[in-house]
Amino acid sequence: MTLTAKSVARAGLVSTIVAATAAAALFAATPANGAASTLAAAAQQSGRYFGTAVAANKLGDSTYVGILNREFDMVTAENEMKMDATEPNQNQFSYGNADRIVNHARNQGKRVRGHALAWHSQQPGWMQNMSGTALRNAMLNHITQVATYYRGKIYAWDVVNEAFADGSSGGRRDSNLQRTGNDWIEAAFRAARAADPNAKLCYNDYNTDNWSHAKTQGVYRMVQDFKSRGVPIDCVGFQAHFNSGNPVPSNYHTTLGNFAALGVDVQITELDIEGSGSSQAQQYQGVTQACLSVARCTGITVWGIRDSDSWRASGTPLLFDGSGNKKAAYNSVLNVLNSGTGTTTPPTSTTTTTSNPGGGGCTATYSEGEKWNDRFNGNVTVTGTDNWTVTVTVSSPQRIIATWNTSATWPSANVMVARPNGNGNTFGFTVQHGGNWSWPSLSCQAG
Ligand code: 9MR
């Protein structure tokens, strides 16, 4: 059995147990059997939040408010904190609807994500017609005023929203703000930091989920540059608006992990997935697993409560139907959050050597293969004999779902005994990991 593989597996298990124990002590909503019954309580088990966008004009709808109060512990104003809402006339600030949402959230013990301080869209009319230094100063003044007004009440601000271009350029989107100079984004972040030093400052965008997309790479390079030059950025928001033309990418955990490795938190900020039934539920499951697999993915926000509340209601993209009933997608998200096993990041090293403790005349070496948000591949190479028996043990909730170059038997659900099948001394398998990225443990026996 490999020492390295085993210690990694143990470290993952220990951190999961610690997180679950701490959460159980803190949050009474966790029933004795460990499975939480709301999205917020389930997310809290791994120290994460589960949020929703809220519209001020729905705070009188008792079904809506009932679900909001019960299920979510983070709130984003869907439109009420945008530039056109908070500064309708230059230097005249208007916080009535935003305050309704912030006060409701805080009275209910929920936190608030601020959305959004600077954006090319939803600018008030007076700003749309500005340019140059006057616009730059108006933007900075807006950020200073709004972030100061809400100082101490905001967990994270989307300081700049949607500043990168779609398509293959990987560059900035043209806008009146961009035309004030390429440094407008860092100027915005510095102004936000000065106004509210304790809020996390995020860059937020859409179509940045697939690691191989040029837009994702463009944002990554900007964050890397900001971190290297000390521009104050703490987090990156991935809006995650998915549909059949823009499906959940299989490399989502790679994207989130690579951004997190730059030293920022990552958050899924506006999640919705058009569709229905089990296909929609599976995609929600994949997104949740991707977040759980990255330690610095601090939470998920869905972009509305019921399908009928959505900005694209006809696509039924949310977790509750128009009557407020839980959908299959709701159950899949809750189950993944309750699996509580996703607090480890994928291991970064690629190989480890496994020796047989019983001196069974052979050595099995495990090496990582491809990783996806729901599964990973592993390969094992055997030396010392051509007539081997390798026992592969995976840990719950992992399951081996495919094998190659071996003939396998299954003494139990999580134990596979592999023998040669005429294809040499390297075999492989696919593990459905359920958020648990621990390596399997191996032992090798000659004969
Ligand atoms: O959901 C919001 C919708 O009510 C507004 O009409 C729209 C106007 O731009 O903005 C929607 O929210 C957007 C968010 O602020 C930024 N990312 C895309 C969201 C969906 O369009």
Give dist(CA 434, CA 293) in Å, integer: 9
Q: Which tops the pLDDT comparison, 62 or 414?
A: 62
> 313 pLDDT exceeds 90?
yes
Give dist(CA 216, CA 205) in Å, integer: 9
Instruction: Report the Cα 104 to chain-centroid distance in Å.
Output: 25
Q: Is the dihedral of CA 125, 128, 130, 136 positive or negative?
A: positive
Contact between 276 and 316 under an 8 Å Cβ cutoff? The reply is yes
- Other CB atoms within a 10 A radius of the CB of residue 68 amount to 20
pLDDT at position 170 is 97
**Ligand 1 atom, smallest distance to 121 CA:** 9
Q: Please work out whether the CB of residue 270 comes within 6 Å of at least one atom of ligand 1.
A: yes
Best CA proximity match to 139, nearest among 210, 98, 212, 190: 190
Average pLDDT, the chain: 89
pLDDT at position 438 is 81
How remote is the CA of residue 82 from the centroid of ligand 1, in Å?
Answer: 10
- What's 8-72 look like in SS3? HHHHHHHHHHHHHHHHHHHCCCCCCCCCCCCHHHHHHCCCCEEEEEECHHHCCCHHHHHHHHHHC
Tell me what the mean pLDDT of segment 22-51 comes to.
72
How remote is the CA of residue 441 from the centroid of ligand 1, in Å?
Answer: 47
pLDDT at position 382 is 93
Ligand 1 pocket: which of 303, 306, 310 to mutate (most atoms within 8 A of CB): 303
Q: Please work out whether the CB of residue 57 comes within 6 Å of at least one atom of ligand 1.
A: no
Q: Please work out whether the CB of residue 239 comes within 6 Å of at least one atom of ligand 1.
A: yes
Q: Which tops the pLDDT comparison, 427 or 342?
A: 427
Q: Please work out whether the CB of residue 91 comes within 6 Å of at least one atom of ligand 1.
A: no
Residue 434 DSSP SS3: coil
**Ligand 1 atom, smallest distance to 304 CA:** 1
Give dist(CA 361, CA 356) in Å, integer: 8
Bridge partners for 364 per DSSP? 354, 382
Tell me what the mean pLDDT of segment 403-418 comes to.
92
Residue 253 DSSP SS3: helix
Q: Please work out whether the CB of residue 58 comes within 6 Å of at least one atom of ligand 1.
A: no
CA-nearest residue for atom 14, ligand 1, is 78
DSSP 172: B
Tell me what the mean pLDDT of segment 218-242 comes to.
98
Bridge partners for 158 per DSSP? 115, 202
Q: Please work out whether the CB of residue 381 comes within 6 Å of at least one atom of ligand 1.
A: no
pLDDT at position 421 is 94
> 33 pLDDT exceeds 80?
no
Both tokens of 238, joined, read 């991935």
> Which helix (H) or strand (E) covers residue 216, if one does?
helix 214-229
pLDDT one-digit tens code per residue, 117-170: 999 999 999 999 999 999 999 999 999 999 999 999 999 999 999 999 999 999
Q: Which residues are within 8 A (CB) of 38 and not within 5 positions of it... i.e. 6 or more apart?
A: 29, 70, 71, 334
How remote is the CA of residue 78 from the centroid of ligand 1, in Å?
Answer: 7
Least confident range from 56-60, 267-271, 295-299, 350-354: namely 350-354
CA-nearest residue for atom 6, ligand 1, is 311
Tell me what the mean pLDDT of segment 51-62 comes to.
98
How remote is the CA of residue 270 from the centroid of ligand 1, in Å?
Answer: 9
pLDDT at position 375 is 80
Q: Is the dihedral of CA 92, 96, 99, 103 positive or negative?
A: positive
Give dist(CA 94, CA 139) in Å, integer: 16
Q: Which domains does the chain have, with CATH numbers?
A: 39-340 (3.20.20.80), 363-446 (2.60.40.290)
Task: Indicate the pLDDT class of residue 24, thresholds 50, 70 and 90.
Answer: very low
Phi-psi region of 345 (alpha: psi -120 to 50; beta: other; left: phi over 0): beta
pLDDT at position 341 is 52
Give dist(CA 83, CA 98) in Å, integer: 11
> 342 pLDDT exceeds 80?
no
**Ligand 1 atom, smallest distance to 206 CA:** 17
pLDDT at position 221 is 98
Q: Which tops the pLDDT comparison, 350 or 156?
A: 156
Tell me what the mean pLDDT of segment 100-125 comes to.
98
Give dist(CA 296, CA 46) in Å, integer: 11
Tell me what the mean pLDDT of segment 269-298 comes to.
96
Task: Indicate the pLDDT class of residue 356, thresholds 50, 70 and 90.
Answer: low
How remote is the CA of residue 311 from the centroid of ligand 1, in Å?
Answer: 7
> 78 pLDDT exceeds 50?
yes
270 is catalytic: yes
Q: Please work out whether the CB of residue 79 comes within 6 Å of at least one atom of ligand 1.
A: yes
Q: Please work out whether the CB of residue 205 comes within 6 Å of at least one atom of ligand 1.
A: no
Q: Please work out whether the CB of residue 78 comes within 6 Å of at least one atom of ligand 1.
A: yes
Q: Helical H runs in 83-213? A: 83-86, 96-107, 125-128, 132-149, 184-195
pLDDT at position 355 is 57
Task: Indicate the pLDDT class of residue 51, thresholds 50, 70 and 90.
Answer: very high
From the list 78, 270, 274, 368, the catalytic residue is 270
CA-nearest residue for atom 20, ligand 1, is 311
Give dist(CA 443, CA 420) in Å, integer: 15
Considering 28-37, 123-132, 378-387, the range whose residues carry the highest mean pLDDT is: 123-132
- Entry pTM: 0.74
Give dist(CA 191, CA 354) in Å, integer: 53
